[in-house]
Chains A and B, each alone.
Chain A
Amino acid sequence: MSDAASAPAPIRADAPPTGQRIIEIEGLNKWYGEFHVLRDINLSVNRGEVVVVIGPSGSGKSTLIRCINRLEEHQQGKIVVDGVELTDDVRAIDQIRRETGMVFQSFNLFPHLTVLDNITLAPTRVRRWKKSKAEERARFFLEKVGIPEQAHKYPGQLSGGQQQRVAIARSLTMEPKVMLFDEPTSALDPEVIGEVLQVMVNLAKEGMTMVVVTHEMGFAREVGDRVVFMDAGQIVEVGSPEHFFTNPKEARTRSFLSKIL
């Protein structure tokens, strides 16, 4: 099996060329009851790009990426993922969910299944792979995230960092075109955040398209191709990390950064 440290193995053999848009969001609006959570969001993500979304809590970051795979329903605007528009169409929803992986703050591993079963469940049921193929791929990705020896344990027996790495492997095994990360390190003890971030850094280096909501500014600076700053349901500023961390345009961005840096 390939060694993560050496030349990165492509995650998908048929990975399309980078550069073209894979996520396109236009005029997105969402309300919770009367509360306007997302306001006129326009954002596009290119293939192979790593977009980091930052902002104060309650700014709508999580809601935004949960709209991308329709865990939340949007009321206005247009979301297109890999050429498929997200509508009420069941087929479109299913297809988009197949092609996007998601990693949650609270891991959300299935506690009644072993690590291996957690990972192979969706490939066998959704992609209809043979059990043997699914297991082979599962072991490949477990190795990639650095915990090949835990395959037969239950999630409850693993540490938080290990659980989150299993969750990443679980998403990757579905061979998604986009990975969505919803504050993947916020529920972790400080000493294990590093191991999860390392997995994400490697993933980015291998060319995975990623949308990451996080508070880890180091990650944003090092890995992000673009940084999106959100506040009060709006995108306030978008830019490269250098621009963003050294010379932000907007006053709100500056005040936010001054508080957390």
Chain B
Amino acid sequence: MIQPRPAPVKAHGFRFWLRKNLFNGPFNTVLTFVAAVVVAWSLYNLATFIFVEGSWGQVWRNMRLFGVYRYPPEYLWRPLLALGIMLGLMGVMAGAGGRKSIVAGAFLPIQGFVAVVSVVAILFWPSVRFLWPGALALGFLGYFIGSRWPRSIKYLPWGWGVWLVVGYLLLSGLTTGGTLGKVPVRDWGGFLLTLILFTGIIPSFPIGIALALGRNSKLPAIKYFCIGFIEVVRGAPLIMWLFIASLLLPLILNVDANSLPAIMRAYVAITLFSAAYMAENVRGGLQAVPRGQGEAARALGLSAWQTTLLIVLPQALRAVIPAIVGQAIGLFKDTSLVFIVGLVDFFKVGDIVSVQPEALLVTGGVKLEVFLFIAVIYFFFAYRMSIASRQLEKRLGVGER
């Protein structure tokens, strides 16, 4: 019998890598040089702009506007406390799931971001000097609790429920004046508003699932209603729905236009829009579940509802988690469209900041700086989510046969 022998040594090292990846053949060598010139030119221009030409003062001076827009500075502790609680809850999930879990993959970068902001706050922003590090600390506290007592994750749904209520009360306030003075909804803005609108994906979940199930229903009335809703909503762009919602919602609900703040109109539009896309994603998942699964459940005596909720939906949703994360990224970017209904979200603050009198003094304006900053922030969060989605995809692919 022939004994196994070690494989011959593979060529490696830097020079081998270069030859394999950059200079294998004349065509590739030329390509490398062309690409190198393009890269060098782009990097040079970018660096020159960022470090030499750019005038970043306008961005730096208006950080509070970017963060919360007109939210009263004396109440800044309230959104930051809400953020801290959120980080704490995420921390518990991340801690319980372990460092390598998906939640941790989302939580740790956010903590990193908050940590950077905290350092900046300690150095430069006296009014929130302790608040940002406080939020950071709450996050780590949650992480500690989660990793120390993983069973605490059982109470988390309650925690999130409480957070929704408390968070809303913190933001809107309770009393006229005082520590918990009311802040009108129209003063919410900046990145805070972007995040609030982003939560529209949460209610879109159950609606989307209901629509998807309805679309698969055998009952024609329900089926065609769901098809109609999904296709009409998906057929037109979000910006149009936002516009229509802002015009028509007060009419449709027969309420005074002033009693329905623009945020709520936008929220309704975003939720329903997102639900239609969610429905299509979920439907994809439902189609991926083999017919035999439902048949086996029915043969065991489970009712139609039990079959759907216990057998079909869990499998369908698991199959489409990456698609749903993709949709979340899309929604996160799409929140920037609320400018059409007069809301001032993170993106719109850029417009305001770049036409302030100080901005107009700068030669050539500061639009490039302002929107570069905005782009970087959006990119950070969206890219982070897309990395998480890719990890999920890999994990789910490996997990099931």
Q: Do chains A and B touch in the complex (CB under 8 A)?
A: yes
Closest to B318 in A: A112
Residue in A100, A125, A156 whose beta carbon sits within 8 Å of that of B302 in the complex: A125
Interface string of A139-174 (1 = CB under 8 A from B): 000000000000000001000000000010011001
> Which residues of the other chain, B, contact A98 by a CB distance below 8 angstroms?
301
A106 to B296, CA, bound (A): 10
A112 to B290, CA, bound (A): 13
Contact indicator B295/A171 (Cβ below 8 Å):
no
> Which residues of the other chain, B, contact A170 by a CB distance below 8 angstroms?
300
- Tell me the minimal C-beta distance from A117 to chain B in angstroms: 10
Q: Does A102 contact B (CB under 8 A)?
A: yes
> Which residues of the other chain, A, contact B295 by a CB distance below 8 angstroms?
71, 104, 108
Contact indicator B292/A102 (Cβ below 8 Å):
no
Interface string of A57-98 (1 = CB under 8 A from B): 000000000000101000000000000000000000010011
Q: Does A110 contact B (CB under 8 A)?
A: yes
With A94-B303, A102-B299, A111-B315 already in contact, the answer to whether A125 and B292 are too (CB < 8 A) is no
Interface size on A, residues (CB 8 A): 25
Q: Does A122 contact B (CB under 8 A)?
A: yes
Residue in B293, B302, B399, B401 whose beta carbon sits within 8 Å of that of A122 in the complex: B302
- Tell me the minimal C-beta distance from B299 to chain A in angstroms: 4
> Which residues of the other chain, B, contact A232 by a CB distance below 8 angstroms?
none
Contact indicator A104/B292 (Cβ below 8 Å):
yes
Q: Does A126 contact B (CB under 8 A)?
A: yes
Q: Does B298 contact A (CB under 8 A)?
A: yes
Majority SS of interface residues in chain B? helix
Closest to A121 in B: B310
Q: Does B311 contact A (CB under 8 A)?
A: yes
- Tell me the minimal C-beta distance from A2 to chain B in angstroms: 24
Q: Does B29 contact A (CB under 8 A)?
A: no
A231 to B239, CA, bound (A): 61
A211 to B170, CA, bound (A): 65
> Which residues of the other chain, B, contact A127 by a CB distance below 8 angstroms?
301
A128 to B318, CA, bound (A): 27
Q: Does B206 contact A (CB under 8 A)?
A: no
- Tell me the minimal C-beta distance from A26 to chain B in angstroms: 23
Contact indicator B292/A126 (Cβ below 8 Å):
no
A104 to B314, CA, bound (A): 21
Contact indicator B300/A171 (Cβ below 8 Å):
yes
A97 to B296, CA, bound (A): 11
Contact indicator B301/A97 (Cβ below 8 Å):
yes
A113 to B295, CA, bound (A): 16
Residue in B292, B301, B310, B318 whose beta carbon sits within 8 Å of that of A108 in the complex: B292
A127 to B306, CA, bound (A): 13
Residue in B293, B298, B311, B401 whose beta carbon sits within 8 Å of that of A97 in the complex: B298
Contact indicator A121/B300 (Cβ below 8 Å):
yes
Closest to A102 in B: B299
Contact indicator B310/A104 (Cβ below 8 Å):
no
Q: Does B256 contact A (CB under 8 A)?
A: no
A125 to B305, CA, bound (A): 12
A178 to B401, CA, bound (A): 32
With A71-B295, A108-B295 already in contact, the answer to whether A122 and B300 are too (CB < 8 A) is yes
Contact indicator A94/B301 (Cβ below 8 Å):
yes
Contact indicator A126/B301 (Cβ below 8 Å):
yes
Closest to A96 in B: B301
Q: Does B400 contact A (CB under 8 A)?
A: yes
> Which residues of the other chain, B, contact A126 by a CB distance below 8 angstroms?
300-302, 306
A101 to B296, CA, bound (A): 10
A112 to B296, CA, bound (A): 14
Closest to B292 in A: A108
- Tell me the minimal C-beta distance from A119 to chain B in angstroms: 10
With A104-B292, A112-B315 already in contact, the answer to whether A97 and B400 are too (CB < 8 A) is no
Contact indicator A110/B293 (Cβ below 8 Å):
yes
A94 to B304, CA, bound (A): 10
> Which residues of the other chain, B, contact A122 by a CB distance below 8 angstroms?
297, 300-302
Contact indicator A174/B315 (Cβ below 8 Å):
no
Residues B268-295 near A (CB distance < 8 A)? 290, 292-293, 295
Interchain residue pairs with CB less than 8 A apart (24)? A71-B295, A94-B303, A97-B299, A98-B301, A101-B299, A106-B292, A110-B293, A110-B296, A110-B311, A111-B315, A111-B400, A122-B300, A122-B301, A122-B302, A125-B302, A125-B306, A126-B301, A126-B302, A126-B306, A127-B301, A156-B401, A167-B296, A171-B300, A174-B301
Which B residues are closer than 8 A to A by beta carbons? 290, 292-293, 295-303, 306, 310-311, 314-315, 318, 399-401
List 7 extra interface pairs beyond A71-B295, A122-B302, CB under 8 A.
A71-B298, A97-B299, A108-B290, A110-B311, A121-B302, A122-B301, A127-B301
Which A residues are closer than 8 A to B by beta carbons? 69, 71, 94, 97-98, 100-102, 104, 106, 108-112, 121-122, 125-127, 156, 167, 170-171, 174
In the A-B complex, the 10 residue pairs with the closest CB atoms: A108-B296, A122-B300, A102-B299, A108-B292, A126-B301, A98-B301, A97-B301, A156-B401, A112-B314, A106-B292
